[in-house]
C-alpha cells in the first residue's frame, strides 16, 4: 500500500495528488450517473470520505440515500454493510459477540463473531430509530476506529466510514441523536428533491429494462493515500483565521443568547479537512474561501441549536450559518 507516513517529497506529492484527483473525479461522475440529480450530495459524501470522516444523510424516504451509499461502495471498491436500525436492535447486533463453541474433544472455547461494523463502509439506516444504548455502540467505532468487546480491543478495517441516514419528518418512535454523537459526524448532508428534468431522467432510467449499474474506478488504497496526502495540503493563514472566526462567532455568550449551544473545536477541524478535500476534488493545490464557504453548512448545522430567544426572533440555524459564510 502506497501510503506516506511522513512528509512526502513536495513534487512527488503534487504529481500523485493530480493522479488521484483524476480518479476521484471519475468516481464522482460514475456515482452521479447512478444517483441522478444529487451532484452536490455526491460531492459532499466524497469530501467526507476524503477528509476521513463520517456523514449523516438527512432526507425524506425515496431520495436515493441507500442507492447512493451502495454506489459509493461499489465505485470506490469499499467493502460495505448495512444495518437497519430498529427499536429492538442491541449493541451486539452491531459490534458482534462472544459465542461458546464445543470442540470434538469435548472442550469449550469462546470465539468472537464479528458484527456488521467490521467493514469499510457502514450504512446505518434510520439511525435514530434505535435506543440511545444501541446508538452509543457506534461511538467508539466512529472515533477510535476500534471496538471493545469482552475486554478485548479489536481494530476495524481501514478505511472505516459510517454513512447514517435519518428521516427528518417521522419522529414517532425515534430517539434523537445526542449532541456527543452528532459531533462525531463530520458532515450533516441534507438530501433534497431533484429538479424536474433530473426527476424525469430518473423515471426513465429506473423504470426501464436496464438500470444504470455503477462501475468500480478506485480501491481502498487510493482513498487511504488521498487522505494521507491531503493532510499535507497547505492552508493559508487567512483561511485558517476565517474558519476560526466563523466557528467562534456561532457560539453563545453572555451578550448573544440566540444560541443554546454552538460548534466546538472539532467543528474547526472539520472545516479545515473538508476544505482541503473539496479543493482536491476541484483540482486545486490548496483550499480557497469558496471551499470554506461551501463546507460551512454541512459542517456546522448539526453542531449548534437555537435557544428559545433565537426561535422567538424567527431565526434559523441555516440563516445564521449563511450570515457567517457571507462574512468570510
Q: Look up residue 7 and give its three cell numbers.
A: 512528509
- Report whether pLDDT(8) > 70: no
The mean pLDDT of 166-193, rounded to a whole number, is 84
Confidence label for 173 from pLDDT (cuts 50, 70 and 90):
low
Provide the percentage of residues in the chain whose pLDDT is more than 90: 49
- Neighbouring C-beta atoms of residue 52, cutoff 10 Å: 21
Question: What's the number of CA atoms in the CB half-sphere (13 Å) around residue 108?
Answer: 4
Q: What is the pLDDT of residues 203-246, one digit of tens each?
A: 888 787 666 788 899 899 999 999 999 998 999 999 999 999 99
Among 82, 115, 112, 74, residue whose Cα is nearest residue 216: 74
Cα separation, 44 vs 50, in Å, equals: 10
Q: What is the pLDDT of residues 34-65, one digit of tens each?
A: 888 899 999 999 999 999 999 999 988 888 88
The mean pLDDT of 1-27, rounded to a whole number, is 72
Instruction: Map the chain to HEC letters.
Output: CCCCCCCCCHHHHHHHHHHHHHHHHHHHHHHHHHCCCCHHHHHHHHHHHHCCCCEEEECCCCCCHHHHHHHHHHHHCCCEEEEECCCCCCHHHHHEEEEEEECCCCCEEEEEEECCCCCCEEEEECHHHCCHHHHCHHHHHHHHCEEEECCEEEECCCCCEEEEEECCCCCCCCCCCCHHHHCCCCEEEECCCCCHHHHHHHHHHHCCCCCCCCCCCCCHHHHHHHHHHHCCCCCCHHHHHHHHHHHHHCCCCCCCCCEEECCCHHHHHHHHHHHHHHHHHCCCCCCCHHHHHHHHHHHHCCCCEECHHHHHCCCCHHHHHHHHHHCC
Cα separation, 250 vs 321, in Å, equals: 8
Q: How far apart are the first and last CA of the chain?
A: 39
- Report whether pLDDT(7) > 70: no
pLDDT at site 3: 47
- Report whether pLDDT(66) > 60: yes
Domains by residue range for the chain, with CATH: 15-210 (3.40.50.300), 233-328 (1.10.8.80)
The mean pLDDT of 100-104, rounded to a whole number, is 77
Confidence label for 152 from pLDDT (cuts 50, 70 and 90):
confident
pLDDT at site 296: 96
pLDDT at site 206: 78
pLDDT at site 1: 43
The mean pLDDT of 274-289, rounded to a whole number, is 94
pLDDT at site 116: 92
Contact criterion met (CB below 8 Å) for 194 and 35: no
Cα separation, 285 vs 10, in Å, equals: 11
Question: What's the number of CA atoms in the CB half-sphere (13 Å) around residue 213?
Answer: 2
Cα separation, 34 vs 54, in Å, equals: 22
Q: Is 98 exposed, middle or buried (0-12, 13-18, 19+ CB in 10 A)?
A: middle
Cα separation, 249 vs 328, in Å, equals: 11
Provide the percentage of residues in the chain whose pLDDT is more than 70: 94
The mean pLDDT of 134-152, rounded to a whole number, is 86
**Residue that the C-alpha cell 456515482 belongs to:** 31
- Report whether pLDDT(104) > 80: no
Q: What is the pLDDT of residues 308-318, one digit of tens each?
A: 988 998 899 99
pLDDT at site 9: 66
**Residue that the C-alpha cell 474547526 belongs to:** 268
Q: Is the dihedral of CA 217, 125, 32, 185 positive or negative?
A: negative
Amino acid at each position: 500500500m502506497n501510503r506516506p507516513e511522513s512528509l512526502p517529497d513536495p513534487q512527488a506529492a503534487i504529481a500523485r495528488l493530480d493522479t488521484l484527483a483524476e480518479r476521484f473525479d471519475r468516481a464522482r461522475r460514475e456515482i452521479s450517473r447512478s444517483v441522478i440529480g444529487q451532484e452536490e450530495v455526491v460531492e459532499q459524501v466524497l469530501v467526507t470520505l476524503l477528509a476521513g470522516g463520517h456523514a449523516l444523510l438527512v432526507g425524506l424516504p425515496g431520495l436515493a440515500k441507500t442507492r447512493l451509499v451502495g454506489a459509493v461502495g461499489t465505485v470506490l471498491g469499499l467493502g460495505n454493510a448495512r444495518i437497519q436500525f430498529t427499536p429492538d436492535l442491541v449493541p451486539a447486533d452491531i459490534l458482534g459477540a462472544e459465542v461458546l463453541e464445543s470442540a470434538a474433544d469435548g472442550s469449550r472455547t469462546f470465539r468472537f463473531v464479528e458484527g456488521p461494523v467490521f467493514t469499510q463502509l457502514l450504512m446505518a439506516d434510520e439511525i435514530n430509530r434505535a435506543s440511545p444504548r444501541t446508538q452509543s455502540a457506534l461511538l467508539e467505532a466512529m472515533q477510535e476506529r476500534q471496538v471493545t468487546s469482552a475486554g478485548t480491543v479489536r481494530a476495524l478495517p481501514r478505511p472505516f466510514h459510517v454513512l447514517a441516514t435519518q428521516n427528518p419528518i417521522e419522529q414517532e418512535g425515534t430517539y434523537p441523536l445526542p449532541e456527543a454523537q452528532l459531533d462525531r459526524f463530520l458532515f450533516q448532508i441534507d438530501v433534497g428533491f431533484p429538479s424536474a428534468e433530473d426527476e424525469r431522467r430518473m423515471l426513465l432510467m429506473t423504470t426501464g429494462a436496464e438500470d444504470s449499474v455503477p462501475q468500480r474506478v478506485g480501491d481502498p488504497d487510493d482513498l487511504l493515500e488521498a487522505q494521507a496526502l491531503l493532510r499535507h495540503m497547505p492552508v493559508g493563514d487567512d483561511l485558517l483565521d476565517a474558519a476560526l472566526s466563523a466557528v467562534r462567532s456561532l457560539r453563545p455568550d453572555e451578550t448573544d443568547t440566540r444560541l443554546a449551544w454552538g460548534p466546538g473545536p472539532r467543528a474547526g477541524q472539520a472545516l479545515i479537512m473538508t476544505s482541503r478535500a473539496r479543493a482536491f476534488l476541484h483540482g486545486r493545490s490548496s483550499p480557497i474561501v469558496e471551499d470554506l464557504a461551501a463546507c460551512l453548512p454541512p459542517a456546522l448545522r448539526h453542531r449548534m441549536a437555537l435557544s428559545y430567544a433565537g426561535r422567538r426572533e424567527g431565526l434559523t440555524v441555516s440563516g445564521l450559518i449563511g450570515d457567517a459564510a457571507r462574512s468570510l
